[in-house]
């Protein structure tokens, strides 16, 4: 189906969380894809990259290693 596009917080986006921001990003991307598929000359939706504080990057790397080892997140208190 050439004009079938999925949107919502369950669609993988740069936000990488089930949030309204993620749903909005997926909707903007779907609208842009639809306009592209239609060869439309309409202005495309602006898709911004999520700001990721550099201070959190070391924590993400530790979490990735722990995940691969089958361990819980460092902050999982349950």
Report pLDDT digits (tens) over 5-61: 889 888 888 887 788 888 999 999 999 999 999 999 999 999 988 888 999 999 999
Q: Look up the pTM and report it.
A: 0.68
Residue 74 carries which DSSP code? T
Domains contained in the chain, number: 1
> So what's the pLDDT on residue 75?
87
| Residue 49 domain boundaries | 1-78
**CA 26 to chain CA centroid, nearest Å:** 7
CA distances from 18 to 5, 41, 58, 75 (A): 18, 32, 23, 19
Cβ contact 14:25 at 8 Å: yes
pLDDT range class, residue 69, cuts 50, 70, 90? very high
What is residue 66's predicted lDDT score, i.e. its pLDDT?
Answer: 96
């Amino acid at each position: 189906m050439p004009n079938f596009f999925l949107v919502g917080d369950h669609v993988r986006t740069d936000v990488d969380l089930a949030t309204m921001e993620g749903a909005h990003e997926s909707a903007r991307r779907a609208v842009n894809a639809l306009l592209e598929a239609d060869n439309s000359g309409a202005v495309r939706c602006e898709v911004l990259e999520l700001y990721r504080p550099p201070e959190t990057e070391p924590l993400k790397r530790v979490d990735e290693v722990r995940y691969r080892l089958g361990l819980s997140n460092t902050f999982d208190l349950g």
